[in-house]
Copies of this chain bind each other. A is one copy, B any other.
Amino acid sequence: MAHAYFTAGKHDDPAVFDLFFRRNPFGGEFTVCAGISEALSFVENYRWTEDDIDFVAERMALRNEAFKHWLSGLDCSRIRVYAIREGDIVFPRVPVLRVEGPLGICQLLESTLLNLIGYASLVATNAARLRLAAGEGRSIVEFGLRRAQGPDGAMSAARYSYLGGAAGTSNVLAGQVFDIPTVGTQAHAYISAFTGLENIPRRNLVDIDGTERDFVATVFRFRDQFGFTSTHDGELAAFITYALAFPGNFLALVDTYDTVRSGLPNALCVSLALWEFGYRPTGIRLDSGDLSHLSRHARSLFRSAAQKTGIDLPPIVIVASNELNESTIRSLNEQGHEIDIFGVGTHLVTCAGDPSLGVVYKLVQISGRPRIKISEEPAKVTIPGRKNAYRLYGEEGYPLLDVMLGEREDPPGPSQRILCCHPYQRARRSWVTPSQVEPIHHLMWDGRLAGPVPTLAESREFCRTQINRLRGDHLRQLNPTPYKVSLSEPLFNFMHDLWEREAAVGELR
Protein backbone atom coordinates (compact mmCIF):
# COMPACT_ATOMS: atom_id res chain seq x y z
CA MET A 1 0.00 0.00 0.00
CA ALA A 2 2.76 2.41 0.90
CA HIS A 3 4.40 1.79 -2.47
CA ALA A 4 1.13 2.37 -4.31
CA TYR A 5 0.54 5.61 -2.36
CA PHE A 6 4.07 6.64 -3.24
CA THR A 7 3.50 5.83 -6.91
CA ALA A 8 0.37 7.97 -6.79
CA GLY A 9 2.21 10.80 -5.08
CA LYS A 10 -0.26 10.47 -2.21
CA HIS A 11 2.13 9.32 0.52
CA ASP A 12 2.37 12.83 1.96
CA ASP A 13 -1.34 13.62 1.84
CA PRO A 14 -2.46 14.60 5.35
CA ALA A 15 -4.46 11.72 6.80
CA VAL A 16 -6.36 10.94 9.98
CA PHE A 17 -6.85 7.35 11.16
CA ASP A 18 -9.00 6.17 14.07
CA LEU A 19 -8.14 2.96 15.92
CA PHE A 20 -11.22 1.60 17.67
CA PHE A 21 -13.36 -1.48 18.31
CA ARG A 22 -17.08 -2.05 17.88
CA ARG A 23 -18.01 -4.32 20.79
CA ASN A 24 -16.89 -4.75 24.39
CA PRO A 25 -15.43 -8.20 25.08
CA PHE A 26 -16.73 -10.94 27.39
CA GLY A 27 -20.36 -9.84 27.07
CA GLY A 28 -19.53 -6.80 29.18
CA GLU A 29 -20.11 -3.09 28.81
CA PHE A 30 -16.62 -1.74 29.41
CA THR A 31 -13.07 -2.22 28.14
CA VAL A 32 -9.78 -1.27 29.75
CA CYS A 33 -7.52 0.75 27.46
CA ALA A 34 -4.02 -0.74 27.41
CA GLY A 35 -0.96 -0.98 25.21
CA ILE A 36 -0.57 2.80 24.85
CA SER A 37 2.96 3.05 26.19
CA GLU A 38 4.10 0.16 23.97
CA ALA A 39 2.42 1.83 21.00
CA LEU A 40 4.25 5.07 21.74
CA SER A 41 7.51 3.22 22.09
CA PHE A 42 6.89 1.57 18.70
CA VAL A 43 6.18 4.98 17.12
CA GLU A 44 9.30 6.42 18.73
CA ASN A 45 11.52 3.66 17.36
CA TYR A 46 9.96 3.21 13.92
CA ARG A 47 12.74 2.88 11.32
CA TRP A 48 13.54 0.79 8.24
CA THR A 49 16.98 -0.78 8.13
CA GLU A 50 18.76 -1.46 4.85
CA ASP A 51 18.11 -5.16 5.38
CA ASP A 52 14.38 -4.54 5.83
CA ILE A 53 14.24 -2.50 2.64
CA ASP A 54 16.23 -5.05 0.66
CA PHE A 55 14.00 -7.84 1.90
CA VAL A 56 10.76 -6.09 0.97
CA ALA A 57 12.13 -4.86 -2.37
CA GLU A 58 13.17 -8.38 -3.27
CA ARG A 59 9.97 -10.07 -2.08
CA MET A 60 7.77 -7.56 -3.92
CA ALA A 61 10.05 -7.15 -6.92
CA LEU A 62 10.26 -3.39 -6.28
CA ARG A 63 12.80 -1.55 -8.37
CA ASN A 64 11.66 1.92 -7.38
CA GLU A 65 14.81 3.57 -5.98
CA ALA A 66 12.96 6.72 -4.97
CA PHE A 67 10.56 4.64 -2.86
CA LYS A 68 13.43 2.76 -1.25
CA HIS A 69 15.11 6.05 -0.47
CA TRP A 70 11.88 7.34 1.06
CA LEU A 71 11.64 4.23 3.25
CA SER A 72 15.25 4.61 4.39
CA GLY A 73 14.55 8.07 5.82
CA LEU A 74 11.15 7.28 7.26
CA ASP A 75 10.30 7.92 10.90
CA CYS A 76 7.38 9.27 12.93
CA SER A 77 8.66 12.81 13.32
CA ARG A 78 5.79 14.15 11.21
CA ILE A 79 2.90 12.38 12.89
CA ARG A 80 0.74 13.08 15.90
CA VAL A 81 -0.91 10.52 18.13
CA TYR A 82 -3.83 11.35 20.38
CA ALA A 83 -4.77 8.55 22.73
CA ILE A 84 -6.88 7.53 25.66
CA ARG A 85 -4.77 7.29 28.79
CA GLU A 86 -3.51 3.81 29.54
CA GLY A 87 -5.74 2.21 32.18
CA ASP A 88 -8.74 4.41 31.40
CA ILE A 89 -12.05 2.83 30.48
CA VAL A 90 -12.94 2.92 26.79
CA PHE A 91 -16.16 2.14 24.99
CA PRO A 92 -17.01 0.93 21.49
CA ARG A 93 -16.45 3.37 18.60
CA VAL A 94 -14.60 5.94 20.66
CA PRO A 95 -11.10 5.97 19.12
CA VAL A 96 -8.44 4.46 21.37
CA LEU A 97 -5.89 6.23 19.18
CA ARG A 98 -6.17 8.95 16.57
CA VAL A 99 -3.13 8.95 14.30
CA GLU A 100 -2.57 12.02 12.11
CA GLY A 101 0.09 12.78 9.58
CA PRO A 102 1.32 11.84 6.11
CA LEU A 103 -0.72 9.00 4.65
CA GLY A 104 2.21 6.67 3.89
CA ILE A 105 3.68 6.50 7.36
CA CYS A 106 0.28 6.43 9.08
CA GLN A 107 -0.68 3.44 6.92
CA LEU A 108 2.53 1.55 7.67
CA LEU A 109 1.79 1.68 11.40
CA GLU A 110 -1.60 -0.05 11.07
CA SER A 111 -0.96 -3.72 11.78
CA THR A 112 1.52 -3.22 14.58
CA LEU A 113 -0.64 -0.66 16.38
CA LEU A 114 -3.61 -3.03 16.16
CA ASN A 115 -1.44 -5.81 17.51
CA LEU A 116 -0.13 -3.72 20.41
CA ILE A 117 -3.49 -2.33 21.51
CA GLY A 118 -5.76 -5.32 20.84
CA TYR A 119 -4.43 -8.05 23.09
CA ALA A 120 -3.22 -5.62 25.77
CA SER A 121 -6.71 -4.13 26.17
CA LEU A 122 -8.37 -7.54 25.95
CA VAL A 123 -6.32 -9.20 28.70
CA ALA A 124 -6.40 -6.09 30.92
CA THR A 125 -10.19 -6.11 30.64
CA ASN A 126 -10.25 -9.82 31.43
CA ALA A 127 -8.12 -9.27 34.55
CA ALA A 128 -10.32 -6.35 35.64
CA ARG A 129 -13.44 -8.50 35.26
CA LEU A 130 -11.83 -11.36 37.20
CA ARG A 131 -10.86 -8.98 40.00
CA LEU A 132 -14.44 -7.68 40.16
CA ALA A 133 -15.70 -11.28 40.21
CA ALA A 134 -13.32 -12.17 43.06
CA GLY A 135 -14.65 -9.25 45.07
CA GLU A 136 -13.20 -6.93 47.66
CA GLY A 137 -10.59 -8.37 49.97
CA ARG A 138 -9.82 -11.15 47.53
CA SER A 139 -7.38 -11.10 44.68
CA ILE A 140 -6.47 -12.84 41.49
CA VAL A 141 -3.00 -13.72 40.29
CA GLU A 142 -1.86 -14.57 36.77
CA PHE A 143 -0.67 -18.18 36.39
CA GLY A 144 -0.70 -18.45 32.58
CA LEU A 145 2.90 -18.60 31.35
CA ARG A 146 2.47 -22.12 30.06
CA ARG A 147 -0.62 -21.31 28.02
CA ALA A 148 0.52 -18.12 26.26
CA GLN A 149 1.54 -17.59 22.64
CA GLY A 150 5.23 -18.16 23.24
CA PRO A 151 7.47 -16.56 25.87
CA ASP A 152 6.76 -12.99 24.79
CA GLY A 153 3.02 -13.59 24.62
CA ALA A 154 3.37 -14.60 28.27
CA MET A 155 5.21 -11.37 29.06
CA SER A 156 2.39 -9.32 27.50
CA ALA A 157 -0.16 -11.37 29.42
CA ALA A 158 1.57 -10.78 32.76
CA ARG A 159 2.09 -7.07 32.13
CA TYR A 160 -1.47 -6.24 31.12
CA SER A 161 -3.11 -8.62 33.58
CA TYR A 162 -1.35 -6.68 36.29
CA LEU A 163 -2.48 -3.40 34.77
CA GLY A 164 -6.09 -4.62 34.77
CA GLY A 165 -6.02 -5.66 38.38
CA ALA A 166 -4.18 -8.95 38.92
CA ALA A 167 -2.21 -8.82 42.16
CA GLY A 168 0.80 -10.67 40.77
CA THR A 169 2.18 -13.19 38.33
CA SER A 170 3.88 -16.57 38.50
CA ASN A 171 6.15 -15.42 35.64
CA VAL A 172 9.43 -14.53 37.33
CA LEU A 173 10.89 -12.79 34.28
CA ALA A 174 7.80 -10.58 34.00
CA GLY A 175 8.22 -9.79 37.69
CA GLN A 176 11.80 -8.78 37.01
CA VAL A 177 11.22 -6.78 33.80
CA PHE A 178 7.98 -5.01 34.78
CA ASP A 179 8.36 -4.95 38.57
CA ILE A 180 5.27 -7.06 39.21
CA PRO A 181 4.87 -9.01 42.46
CA THR A 182 5.73 -12.66 41.86
CA VAL A 183 3.73 -15.45 43.43
CA GLY A 184 4.03 -19.20 43.32
CA THR A 185 4.39 -22.42 45.16
CA GLN A 186 5.15 -26.03 44.41
CA ALA A 187 3.98 -28.09 41.48
CA HIS A 188 2.82 -31.66 41.88
CA ALA A 189 6.22 -32.83 40.65
CA TYR A 190 7.77 -31.33 43.75
CA ILE A 191 5.54 -33.39 46.02
CA SER A 192 5.99 -36.54 43.92
CA ALA A 193 9.77 -36.21 44.09
CA PHE A 194 9.66 -37.08 47.79
CA THR A 195 8.96 -40.74 48.28
CA GLY A 196 9.08 -41.03 52.07
CA LEU A 197 10.27 -39.63 55.38
CA GLU A 198 13.83 -40.71 54.56
CA ASN A 199 13.89 -37.77 52.10
CA ILE A 200 13.89 -35.21 54.93
CA PRO A 201 17.38 -33.71 54.73
CA ARG A 202 17.84 -32.57 58.34
CA ARG A 203 15.81 -32.25 61.52
CA ASN A 204 16.75 -28.78 62.73
CA LEU A 205 15.56 -25.28 61.89
CA VAL A 206 16.72 -21.99 63.35
CA ASP A 207 13.75 -20.36 65.04
CA ILE A 208 12.92 -16.67 64.84
CA ASP A 209 15.03 -16.01 67.94
CA GLY A 210 18.10 -17.62 66.39
CA THR A 211 17.99 -20.89 68.28
CA GLU A 212 18.42 -24.10 66.31
CA ARG A 213 15.83 -26.66 67.34
CA ASP A 214 14.38 -30.00 66.18
CA PHE A 215 11.70 -28.93 63.70
CA VAL A 216 10.79 -32.42 62.53
CA ALA A 217 10.05 -33.54 66.10
CA THR A 218 7.72 -30.58 66.50
CA VAL A 219 5.85 -31.52 63.34
CA PHE A 220 5.51 -35.12 64.52
CA ARG A 221 4.33 -34.00 67.94
CA PHE A 222 1.37 -32.28 66.26
CA ARG A 223 0.85 -35.25 63.98
CA ASP A 224 0.58 -37.55 66.99
CA GLN A 225 -1.57 -35.09 68.91
CA PHE A 226 -4.16 -35.02 66.12
CA GLY A 227 -3.84 -38.70 65.29
CA PHE A 228 -3.00 -38.08 61.63
CA THR A 229 -1.53 -41.52 61.09
CA SER A 230 -2.60 -42.26 57.53
CA THR A 231 -1.26 -39.21 55.73
CA HIS A 232 1.24 -39.65 52.90
CA ASP A 233 4.82 -39.74 54.20
CA GLY A 234 6.33 -38.49 50.93
CA GLU A 235 4.03 -35.50 50.96
CA LEU A 236 4.86 -34.73 54.57
CA ALA A 237 8.57 -34.95 53.74
CA ALA A 238 8.01 -32.56 50.83
CA PHE A 239 6.19 -30.05 53.06
CA ILE A 240 8.82 -30.26 55.82
CA THR A 241 11.58 -29.74 53.28
CA TYR A 242 9.78 -26.77 51.75
CA ALA A 243 9.34 -25.28 55.23
CA LEU A 244 13.05 -25.75 55.95
CA ALA A 245 13.86 -23.92 52.69
CA PHE A 246 11.22 -21.18 53.11
CA PRO A 247 10.26 -20.99 56.79
CA GLY A 248 8.88 -17.47 56.35
CA ASN A 249 6.96 -18.24 53.17
CA PHE A 250 5.38 -21.68 53.47
CA LEU A 251 2.58 -22.43 51.02
CA ALA A 252 1.63 -26.08 50.57
CA LEU A 253 0.05 -27.68 47.51
CA VAL A 254 -2.32 -30.08 49.25
CA ASP A 255 -4.04 -32.14 46.54
CA THR A 256 -1.34 -34.48 45.26
CA TYR A 257 -2.64 -37.57 47.06
CA ASP A 258 -5.83 -36.73 48.95
CA THR A 259 -6.64 -33.21 50.06
CA VAL A 260 -8.80 -34.05 53.05
CA ARG A 261 -7.05 -37.15 54.37
CA SER A 262 -3.44 -36.26 53.62
CA GLY A 263 -2.69 -32.82 52.21
CA LEU A 264 -4.51 -30.65 54.74
CA PRO A 265 -3.47 -32.64 57.84
CA ASN A 266 0.17 -32.60 56.69
CA ALA A 267 0.05 -28.87 55.94
CA LEU A 268 -1.56 -28.20 59.33
CA CYS A 269 1.17 -29.96 61.29
CA VAL A 270 3.92 -28.13 59.41
CA SER A 271 2.11 -24.80 59.81
CA LEU A 272 1.68 -25.24 63.57
CA ALA A 273 5.34 -26.19 63.92
CA LEU A 274 6.40 -23.11 61.93
CA TRP A 275 4.19 -20.94 64.13
CA GLU A 276 5.79 -22.46 67.21
CA PHE A 277 9.18 -21.56 65.70
CA GLY A 278 8.02 -17.97 65.36
CA TYR A 279 7.30 -17.98 61.61
CA ARG A 280 4.03 -16.86 60.07
CA PRO A 281 2.87 -19.73 57.87
CA THR A 282 1.39 -18.46 54.61
CA GLY A 283 -1.13 -21.00 53.54
CA ILE A 284 -2.23 -23.72 51.18
CA ARG A 285 -3.10 -24.13 47.52
CA LEU A 286 -6.06 -26.21 46.31
CA ASP A 287 -5.73 -27.34 42.68
CA SER A 288 -8.53 -29.87 42.21
CA GLY A 289 -11.79 -31.09 43.66
CA ASP A 290 -14.68 -29.09 45.06
CA LEU A 291 -12.97 -25.78 45.80
CA SER A 292 -15.93 -24.39 47.71
CA HIS A 293 -16.18 -27.34 50.06
CA LEU A 294 -12.43 -27.90 50.40
CA SER A 295 -11.69 -24.26 51.16
CA ARG A 296 -14.33 -24.18 53.88
CA HIS A 297 -13.09 -27.50 55.23
CA ALA A 298 -9.52 -26.18 55.27
CA ARG A 299 -10.51 -23.00 57.07
CA SER A 300 -12.46 -24.88 59.69
CA LEU A 301 -9.72 -27.50 60.16
CA PHE A 302 -7.09 -24.84 60.84
CA ARG A 303 -9.46 -22.88 63.09
CA SER A 304 -10.48 -25.85 65.18
CA ALA A 305 -6.86 -27.00 65.44
CA ALA A 306 -5.96 -23.57 66.79
CA GLN A 307 -8.76 -23.85 69.36
CA LYS A 308 -7.87 -27.41 70.29
CA THR A 309 -4.20 -26.62 70.86
CA GLY A 310 -4.77 -23.15 72.29
CA ILE A 311 -2.38 -21.83 69.62
CA ASP A 312 -3.29 -18.41 68.25
CA LEU A 313 -2.56 -19.39 64.62
CA PRO A 314 -3.32 -16.48 62.26
CA PRO A 315 -5.72 -17.15 59.39
CA ILE A 316 -3.97 -18.99 56.56
CA VAL A 317 -4.10 -17.75 52.99
CA ILE A 318 -6.11 -20.12 50.81
CA VAL A 319 -5.11 -20.10 47.15
CA ALA A 320 -7.25 -21.90 44.58
CA SER A 321 -6.44 -22.79 40.99
CA ASN A 322 -7.65 -25.30 38.35
CA GLU A 323 -9.10 -23.90 35.14
CA LEU A 324 -10.78 -20.99 36.91
CA ASN A 325 -12.63 -18.31 34.99
CA GLU A 326 -15.11 -15.54 35.72
CA SER A 327 -18.07 -17.91 35.83
CA THR A 328 -16.45 -20.45 38.12
CA ILE A 329 -15.37 -17.68 40.49
CA ARG A 330 -18.89 -16.24 40.57
CA SER A 331 -20.28 -19.72 41.10
CA LEU A 332 -17.89 -20.22 44.01
CA ASN A 333 -19.10 -16.94 45.49
CA GLU A 334 -22.67 -18.22 45.35
CA GLN A 335 -21.77 -21.51 47.00
CA GLY A 336 -19.71 -19.84 49.69
CA HIS A 337 -15.98 -20.35 49.99
CA GLU A 338 -12.94 -19.34 51.99
CA ILE A 339 -10.59 -18.66 49.08
CA ASP A 340 -8.39 -15.57 49.39
CA ILE A 341 -6.47 -15.74 46.12
CA PHE A 342 -7.58 -17.13 42.78
CA GLY A 343 -4.76 -18.31 40.53
CA VAL A 344 -6.02 -17.92 36.97
CA GLY A 345 -3.94 -19.23 34.08
CA THR A 346 -5.44 -20.52 30.86
CA HIS A 347 -8.62 -18.48 30.92
CA LEU A 348 -6.84 -15.25 31.80
CA VAL A 349 -4.06 -15.32 29.19
CA THR A 350 -5.96 -16.95 26.33
CA CYS A 351 -9.09 -14.88 27.08
CA ALA A 352 -10.93 -18.08 26.24
CA GLY A 353 -14.32 -16.45 26.73
CA ASP A 354 -13.65 -14.02 23.89
CA PRO A 355 -10.16 -14.48 22.50
CA SER A 356 -9.88 -11.33 20.41
CA LEU A 357 -10.82 -7.69 20.62
CA GLY A 358 -11.85 -6.63 17.13
CA VAL A 359 -9.78 -3.48 16.92
CA VAL A 360 -9.74 -1.81 13.51
CA TYR A 361 -7.81 1.11 12.03
CA LYS A 362 -9.88 3.20 9.66
CA LEU A 363 -9.07 6.19 7.50
CA VAL A 364 -11.50 8.93 8.59
CA GLN A 365 -10.06 11.93 6.77
CA ILE A 366 -7.72 12.54 3.81
CA SER A 367 -6.47 15.96 2.66
CA GLY A 368 -9.08 17.60 4.84
CA ARG A 369 -11.94 15.54 3.36
CA PRO A 370 -13.78 13.31 5.86
CA ARG A 371 -14.09 9.70 4.69
CA ILE A 372 -16.67 7.11 5.64
CA LYS A 373 -16.36 3.34 5.29
CA ILE A 374 -19.81 2.07 4.42
CA SER A 375 -20.99 -1.48 4.86
CA GLU A 376 -24.11 -3.53 4.47
CA GLU A 377 -24.02 -3.93 8.25
CA PRO A 378 -24.93 -0.47 9.65
CA ALA A 379 -22.94 -1.08 12.84
CA LYS A 380 -19.80 -1.36 10.68
CA VAL A 381 -20.16 2.09 9.13
CA THR A 382 -17.40 4.33 10.45
CA ILE A 383 -17.83 7.78 11.97
CA PRO A 384 -16.11 10.12 9.52
CA GLY A 385 -13.74 13.00 10.08
CA ARG A 386 -11.40 14.26 12.74
CA LYS A 387 -13.38 14.45 15.93
CA ASN A 388 -12.99 15.09 19.62
CA ALA A 389 -14.50 12.99 22.39
CA TYR A 390 -15.61 13.98 25.86
CA ARG A 391 -16.85 12.14 28.90
CA LEU A 392 -19.83 13.86 30.51
CA TYR A 393 -20.41 13.35 34.23
CA GLY A 394 -23.74 13.67 36.02
CA GLU A 395 -24.69 15.23 39.34
CA GLU A 396 -23.92 12.08 41.27
CA GLY A 397 -20.37 11.99 39.97
CA TYR A 398 -20.83 9.05 37.62
CA PRO A 399 -19.98 9.29 33.92
CA LEU A 400 -23.25 9.65 32.00
CA LEU A 401 -21.99 9.05 28.48
CA ASP A 402 -19.21 9.74 25.99
CA VAL A 403 -19.92 12.15 23.14
CA MET A 404 -17.95 12.82 19.96
CA LEU A 405 -18.00 16.19 18.17
CA GLY A 406 -16.59 17.33 14.85
CA GLU A 407 -13.25 19.08 15.18
CA ARG A 408 -14.70 22.52 14.48
CA GLU A 409 -17.45 22.31 17.11
CA ASP A 410 -17.06 24.02 20.46
CA PRO A 411 -16.39 21.52 23.23
CA PRO A 412 -19.22 20.85 25.66
CA GLY A 413 -18.97 22.57 29.00
CA PRO A 414 -20.26 22.03 32.54
CA SER A 415 -23.88 23.13 33.00
CA GLN A 416 -24.29 23.51 29.22
CA ARG A 417 -27.07 21.52 27.61
CA ILE A 418 -26.02 19.36 24.64
CA LEU A 419 -28.06 17.03 22.44
CA CYS A 420 -26.38 13.63 22.32
CA CYS A 421 -27.43 11.32 19.48
CA HIS A 422 -27.14 7.58 19.06
CA PRO A 423 -24.68 7.09 16.16
CA TYR A 424 -27.06 4.97 14.05
CA GLN A 425 -30.62 5.52 15.19
CA ARG A 426 -32.04 8.96 14.59
CA ALA A 427 -34.83 8.59 17.13
CA ARG A 428 -32.51 7.83 20.03
CA ARG A 429 -31.10 11.06 21.42
CA SER A 430 -31.05 12.84 24.72
CA TRP A 431 -30.35 16.27 26.16
CA VAL A 432 -27.49 16.15 28.63
CA THR A 433 -26.44 18.87 31.05
CA PRO A 434 -23.20 17.60 32.51
CA SER A 435 -21.86 18.63 35.89
CA GLN A 436 -18.35 17.93 34.69
CA VAL A 437 -16.72 17.40 31.27
CA GLU A 438 -13.44 15.63 30.61
CA PRO A 439 -11.67 15.34 27.27
CA ILE A 440 -11.03 11.67 26.56
CA HIS A 441 -8.04 11.99 24.26
CA HIS A 442 -4.67 13.46 25.02
CA LEU A 443 -1.88 14.42 22.64
CA MET A 444 0.83 11.87 23.43
CA TRP A 445 3.09 12.04 20.40
CA ASP A 446 3.82 15.19 18.41
CA GLY A 447 6.89 14.19 16.42
CA ARG A 448 8.29 13.23 19.79
CA LEU A 449 6.83 12.20 23.12
CA ALA A 450 4.47 14.95 24.19
CA GLY A 451 4.80 14.23 27.89
CA PRO A 452 5.94 11.70 30.44
CA VAL A 453 4.66 8.15 29.97
CA PRO A 454 3.04 6.74 33.13
CA THR A 455 4.59 3.70 34.77
CA LEU A 456 2.80 0.37 34.83
CA ALA A 457 1.99 0.87 38.51
CA GLU A 458 0.51 4.31 37.83
CA SER A 459 -1.64 3.01 34.97
CA ARG A 460 -2.80 0.14 37.18
CA GLU A 461 -3.86 2.54 39.91
CA PHE A 462 -5.57 4.79 37.33
CA CYS A 463 -7.44 1.78 35.95
CA ARG A 464 -8.78 0.89 39.38
CA THR A 465 -9.85 4.50 39.97
CA GLN A 466 -11.63 4.75 36.63
CA ILE A 467 -13.45 1.45 37.12
CA ASN A 468 -14.58 2.57 40.56
CA ARG A 469 -16.01 5.77 39.06
CA LEU A 470 -18.38 3.80 36.80
CA ARG A 471 -21.93 3.11 37.88
CA GLY A 472 -22.12 -0.47 39.14
CA ASP A 473 -24.73 -1.58 36.64
CA HIS A 474 -22.26 -1.06 33.78
CA LEU A 475 -19.87 -3.46 35.48
CA ARG A 476 -22.09 -6.37 36.42
CA GLN A 477 -21.62 -9.69 34.68
CA LEU A 478 -25.20 -10.51 33.73
CA ASN A 479 -27.03 -8.06 31.46
CA PRO A 480 -24.98 -5.01 32.28
CA THR A 481 -26.46 -1.64 31.28
CA PRO A 482 -24.85 -0.38 28.08
CA TYR A 483 -22.84 2.79 28.54
CA LYS A 484 -23.88 5.31 25.88
CA VAL A 485 -21.49 6.53 23.22
CA SER A 486 -23.06 9.33 21.23
CA LEU A 487 -22.52 11.98 18.59
CA SER A 488 -23.29 15.66 18.71
CA GLU A 489 -26.21 16.60 16.48
CA PRO A 490 -23.97 18.30 13.87
CA LEU A 491 -21.70 15.25 13.67
CA PHE A 492 -24.69 12.92 13.45
CA ASN A 493 -26.16 14.91 10.58
CA PHE A 494 -22.85 15.17 8.79
CA MET A 495 -22.21 11.42 9.10
CA HIS A 496 -25.63 10.43 7.83
CA ASP A 497 -25.51 12.86 4.90
CA LEU A 498 -22.15 11.47 3.83
CA TRP A 499 -23.38 7.90 4.24
CA GLU A 500 -26.37 8.60 2.01
CA ARG A 501 -24.17 10.23 -0.64
CA GLU A 502 -21.62 7.40 -0.69
CA ALA A 503 -24.00 4.44 -0.64
CA ALA A 504 -25.31 3.35 -4.01
CA VAL A 505 -29.08 2.84 -4.16
CA GLY A 506 -29.80 -0.84 -4.58
CA GLU A 507 -32.04 -2.18 -7.30
CA LEU A 508 -33.74 -5.57 -7.10
CA ARG A 509 -35.39 -7.28 -10.04
Interface on A for B, CB 8 Å cutoff? 1, 3-10, 13, 15, 17, 38, 51-52, 55-56, 59-61, 103, 107, 110-112, 114-116, 118-120, 123, 145-157, 170-172, 175-176, 182, 186-190, 192-195, 199-201, 230, 232, 241-242, 244-246, 248-249, 256-258, 261-262, 288-289, 346, 349-352, 355-356, 358-359, 361-363, 366-367, 369, 371, 373-377, 502-504
**Which of A289, A351, A356 has the most chain B CB atoms closer than 10 A to its own CB?**
A356
Between A and B, 21 residue pairs with Cβ closer than 8 Å are A5-B193, A8-B199, A10-B194, A10-B201, A59-B172, A60-B246, A107-B190, A114-B146, A115-B145, A115-B150, A116-B151, A118-B146, A118-B147, A149-B150, A149-B157, A150-B156, A188-B362, A195-B371, A257-B503, A288-B377, A346-B358
A46 to B219, CA, bound (A): 38
Contact of A149 among B59, B176, B189, B349 (CB under 8 A): B349
| Inter-chain pairs besides A8-B245, A346-B358, 9 sampled, C-beta below 8 Å | A4-B246, A52-B176, A59-B175, A107-B187, A153-B153, A232-B504, A257-B504, A261-B504, A351-B355
A361 to B1, CA, bound (A): 46
Asked if A115 meets B154 with Cβ closer than 8 Å, knowing A190-B107, A504-B258, the reply is yes
Determine whether the beta carbon of A504 is less than 8 Å from that of B189: no
Asked if A352 meets B362 with Cβ closer than 8 Å, knowing A148-B115, A258-B504, the reply is no
Within the complex, the shortest CB–CB distance from A395 to chain B, in Å, comes to: 41
Determine whether the beta carbon of B118 is less than 8 Å from that of A15: no
Contact of A156 among B3, B153, B257 (CB under 8 A): B153
A359 to B147, CA, bound (A): 8
A111: chain B residues within 8 A (beta carbon):
145-146, 170-171
Determine whether the beta carbon of B373 is less than 8 Å from that of A256: yes
Asked if A352 meets B356 with Cβ closer than 8 Å, knowing A107-B190, A116-B150, A150-B155, the reply is yes
Determine whether the beta carbon of B110 is less than 8 Å from that of A187: yes
